[in-house]
Structure formats: C-alpha cells, structure tokens
Amino acid sequence: MVSQDALNLAVSLMTSHFGDLVAKVCGCLLRGGTLSLQEIVRCTELSNSQVKNGLLVLIQHNCVQAFSVPKQAGAGGATKSLTQYMALFDNILHRMRFTKFLAIVRDDLGPQCETVLEGLLQHGRLTFDQLVVRATSKQSEDSSSIRDVLRKNLERLVHGQYVERCPRPEPFIAPTSEEATASARRRSAKIILNSAYVNLRGAAKSKEETYSLEQQAMIAAALSHAERFSVITDSGRESSDVKDADKQDVSVGDKRKFEVLELDEEVQAAITETEVLWRANFQKFVHCLEKKACVANVRSRLGLDAGVVLEALIESSDQEKDNSVKASMDGILEAVRGKPGGISMTLEHIRIVLDQLGCSTSIEDNNVFYKMEVQRIIESCQNDEVESLVLSRYGKEAYRIFRLLIKKGSLVETEQISDITFVEKKVAQGILYKLWNDDYLYMQKVISMGAGQLQHFLWKVEKHSLWELVLNHMYHAALNLNQKIAHIVEQEHEVLQAREKREQLRKSRMILELSLLKVDDALMLFHDFKPSYPMDGHLAEDRIQHTGAEDATLELKDKSSTLQRDERQRDQSLSPGCTKH
C-alpha cells in the first residue's frame, strides 16, 4: 500500500500544476482506485462537466489511463461498454523531474531538441503539427524551414528513445468470466505503478489470468517497441525518389494502380503528422538518471577512471535484463575513447578497472564480453543514503554500529558489536535500543540455559521494512518542501510591487527547489531504480508472480512483523528511559 504521505505528495503536485479541481479528481482516483465517471462525480461532489474536464487534463498530461470493460444492463439486458479511469502514480511523481529530463536532452542532443521536449513536457502530448504551430509562434522564420528542422529534431529524440508515441487511448478489456474478473479486482492495486507494466508485456500469455484488471489495461494500451519509436519520415522526398525510380518500369495498365498507391502513402503521411500523438518516454529518463547515480557512486569509491569505464559499459550494452548490463570489449573500448580522459586509458588498464567493478567475463563468437550486475551498485547507493541519514540523526558512533550491521547482513550480539566498533558496551546498548525504538533495527532475544538463564540480544538491519520506512520519510520531506514552495509562489504574486521582498522570496524558493531536487534524487533510489526489496504492496503485486509459495512467504513476513512488534512492547522495560514517541 502506498503511504498516505506519497498520496498527499501526488495530490500536492497536481494542485501546484493544475489547480484544485483537477487535484480533487486525481486525489479521488489515487485514494479510491479505478473508478468510472459517475463514481468520480459522487466521490468529488463536482459537476459532470467539471469531472470530465479534470479527466481530460489528467489524460492529456499522462497522469490517468482510461480503459473500457463490458457491463451488462440488468438481468438479461444488453452488454454495454463502461469506461473506467486509473491514476498513474509514477507519472505524477515524474512531474518533479522535468528539469532533470531537460538537462539530459540538452547535454546529449543540444538545445534545439531540448526545446521540442520542453513543449511535450509542458503540454503532455502533442501531434507533429501542434509542435510546428508552437515553434512558429515563437520564431519569425519561414514555416517550411521550421518544419524541416523540427522534424529532424523530433526524429533525433525518437531515435534516442527520449520521445515515444502515446499508448492506445482506451483499450477494451474483455474478461474471460465473471469469476476471473472478480478475482482480478480483488488482487488489483488501488494505484498503478506503471513502471512495471512493460515487464508484464513480455510474460507468457498463459499467465495472463494472474494479472489484475488494471495490469491487463496497461498491457493492452502499450504499443510494441517498433510502434513506440517509429518516426515521421519526410515522405514527400522519399515518394518522389521512389516515383522517379519506378515510373520507368510502370506499364500503361499499371499506371492507375501506381497512382493509387502513391496517393495512399501521401494520405498516410498526412495522418501521421496530424493524428499521431507524441510524449516524453519517462522510462528512458529514469534509466539515464539511474546510470548517472551509479557512475557517481563508483567514481566516489573507485576513482574517475572507474566512473568512465562504467559509463562506457552501460552505454555500449545492447541489453539490460535482470538488472545487468553486458557489452563486448571492443564496444567498451570504443565508448571509453569517446569520453573525456578516456583516450589515455590503455586496454590493460580498462581490464583492471572492469575487474575492480566485479564484472564477469564470457566468450561469444570469439569476442570477450563483460557482464555486470547494476543492482549491486544501486544497493550500495541505498546503503550510503541510509547511513548518511543515521550519521546526521544519531551521530558517529551510531553510524559505525549501523554500518557494521549493514555489512554483516545477519544477527550480531551486543557485546560483539561493542568490540568491533570500539564503542563502550553501555553506550552501544543505548544506541542500539534507540535505533530499534525508531524502527531502524530488528532485535531478537535469545535465552541461554546454563548455570543460570542469561539473556542475549541480537541485532540486524531488516532492509525490507527499513527501506519502506526511509521511503515514507522521503515522501513526507518532499511533500513539505513542495507545499512550502507553493506557499512562496502565492506570496510572490501578492507582493508584486515590493521589489526587495519579491527578490527575497525568489531566493528562498530557489533554495527550496534545490532541496526538493536532492530529496527526489534519494527518493528515486528507493522507488524508481529497481529496488531489490518491494517498497509497498503495489510493487509486490506488480513485480512478483502470484504463486502459492510466494503468497505464503509474504504472509509469513506480515506475521513476523506483528510478532516483533508485540515482543517490542513486552520488552520495553528492558531499557530504562527508552520509550516510544
């Protein structure tokens, strides 16, 4: 289940960007799950037209996906199509990252492509003709030259997979039976975390019955890879070349057929430019930010050369499956040569760095391939983030203790922790109880039977529950920052005449916006960058196959958490002065 702070953050973003009415419709979908139009009207107590306009805005900006299901009108009545709407939680959060997305394209493809992407981020989804109208309204150049330049820039964005065609607007989902529909709805999540639906698309069809109705809708709406990134070609020039080459071989009897074919191509090109909608491909940008975070982490631990080699390995990789990247030595070497400082790196030095990164090697078609698990670096980034949080909140001694438990990954006794970290036992015991009291540690009590009964306390970092706790803290911090920014923006509008006051507010807003970007960097580590531990019930449902053994494992985890909480309450008296706040 997504936390309340996460839902409030999403609603706060919608309020800042689109106003109260749209935010109210979005909040209804976030909290109530998949709903029809009439259900949203009853939930929000808004008029039918207001809800429709709100849904149109949310769909335009890729925050809601619509789909249709069959509904029977009474007993023995005719079956009609009912449109339902679901909120896309990930896409809503991505609105905080638009400046990061623009910076990625500016660095990779230049300012002209950045301008095209800015239009798509600002308006959600646009056709090519709408992009042309937007560009011509800002420039005084000839519209034909602007059109040609814009087409080239859009093609570069599509080839780089920064921009894609929009999914199908309202797919029809026909369940096999009423029982299957009811079962799927019971398993369905209230909010669709759409980052996982692409993985579902490649699954075997025999497992489709395990998907919830919302997951089926996301799969049905998704286009194939070829469809998503098929570009608009300058069909006029191409058709003229084809016509010049083919007219020599066209007989009189085939002339009419050739003209009809030529006309069909021109009509199809016109339809493509006026009706195909384009949008930003958020998955590509998340991948770029993930690569950036991994390179920064490796650079800080292993040096600049290691960061260059890792970036080259990721960029030259032709696959990214199971959280791994794989590339040939020739590809890595070519990518390294194109990096600043890479021209001076020898082949032997690159091999040494790849070994330091922990890459495994294999030989395929007489070529040496290097494979690396990117998830290991992500886990290192997550560990560093939580350790820095412990350092700032509890001090250096608590940081040493927590770091030890993170590295051990197993239960460690209090006296052993004290000996390894060089922290006095009483001090270590107080720190451990404080961390446990704040849900940062798991404690297990063991009673040894001998001359007398002795109690030993074992400690461990339970990453699953701790990562969820940290993520909720980040949602809360991001919510507070976003609300403060919105408040300052309102104050700026109220003090238009007071120049000094307005400048002071502007500086405060910039500081808060930078802080929000840093909080979002940490938030993405635990939510977007393929976390090894499910962050909430939605991710568990989206990314885990629903087998009986896995369901039993999740149930046992829930029971274990309950027993641990009860044990904590019974043992509260063991540490005087340590109480829950």
**303-322: per-residue pLDDT in tens?**
999 999 999 998 888 655 55
Name the average pLDDT for the chain. Answer: 79
Contact of 333 with 347, CB cutoff 8 Å = yes
Judge if 4-87+170-218 and 286-376 fold alike in CATH terms: yes
Residue 483: name the closest of 464, 509, 507 by CA. Answer: 509
The answer for 318, left when phi > 0, alpha when psi is -120 to 50, beta otherwise, is alpha
The answer, yes or no, to whether residue 530 has pLDDT greater than 90, is: no
Say which range, 47-56, 153-162, 258-267, 459-468, has the weakest mean pLDDT: 258-267
Per-residue pLDDT at 581: 37
The answer, yes or no, to whether residue 13 has pLDDT greater than 90, is: yes
Q: CATH assignment of 4-87+170-218, given 3.40.640.10, 1.20.1090.10, 1.10.10.10, 3.50.50.60?
A: 1.10.10.10
Per-residue pLDDT at 365: 79
> What does the pLDDT average to over 147-160?
92
Per-residue pLDDT at 537: 34
CA 478, 528, 285, 216 dihedral sign is negative
58 by DSSP, 3-state: which? Answer: helix
Query: Parallel, antiparallel, or unpaired: how do β-strands 367-373 and 277-280 relate?
Result: unpaired
- Looking at CATH, the fold of the domain delimited by 286-376 is given as Arc Repressor Mutant, subunit A (1.10.10)
- In this prediction, residue 271 has a pLDDT band, given cuts at 50, 70 and 90, of low
Q: Which pair of structure tokens corresponds to residue 462?
A: 């339970």
- In this prediction, residue 494 has a pLDDT band, given cuts at 50, 70 and 90, of confident
Each residue's pLDDT tens digit, 503-512:
888 899 999 9
Long-range pairs of 297-301 with CB within 8 A, sequence gap ≥ 24:
297/377, 297/380, 297/381, 297/384, 298/357, 298/377, 301/380
- In this prediction, residue 189 has a pLDDT band, given cuts at 50, 70 and 90, of very low
- In this prediction, residue 66 has a pLDDT band, given cuts at 50, 70 and 90, of very high
Say which range, 307-311, 508-512, 520-524, 553-557, has the weakest mean pLDDT: 553-557
* Angstrom distances, CA of residue 262 to CA of 241, 253, 254, 410: 12, 16, 12, 70
Domain positions in the chain are 4-87+170-218, 95-165+233-245+260-280, 286-376, 414-460, 464-535
Q: Could you say which DSSP state residue 165 is in?
A: E
Say which range, 74-78, 196-200, 401-405, has the weakest mean pLDDT: 196-200
> What does the pLDDT average to over 170-197?
57
Per-residue pLDDT at 490: 87
Per-residue pLDDT at 75: 65
Per-residue pLDDT at 315: 87
Q: Which residues, in sequence order, are bridge partners of residue 368?
A: 363
- In this prediction, residue 450 has a pLDDT band, given cuts at 50, 70 and 90, of low
- The greatest distance separating any two alpha carbons of the chain, rounded to the nearest whole angstrom, comes to 110
Q: Which amino acid is at 511?
A: I
Per-residue pLDDT at 142: 65
For 373, other C-beta atoms within 10 Å of its C-beta total 16
Most confident of 243-247, 318-322, 324-328, 476-480: 476-480
Helix pair angle (425-437, 414-421), 10° resolution: 110
Environment class of 405 (CB within 10 Å of its CB; exposed 0-12, middle 13-18, buried 19+):
buried
Residue 408: name the closest of 445, 360, 458 by CA. Answer: 458
The answer, yes or no, to whether residue 211 has pLDDT greater than 90, is: no
Per-residue pLDDT at 501: 84
How far apart are the C-alpha atoms of 527 and 533, rounded to whole Å? 10
329 by DSSP, 3-state: which? Answer: helix
Per-residue pLDDT at 204: 39
Per-residue pLDDT at 554: 38
Report the chain's terminal Cα–Cα distance, integer Å: 24
- Looking at CATH, the fold of the domain delimited by 95-165+233-245+260-280 is given as Arc Repressor Mutant, subunit A (1.10.10)
Residue 524: name the closest of 281, 199, 218, 287 by CA. Answer: 287
> What does the pLDDT average to over 552-579?
44
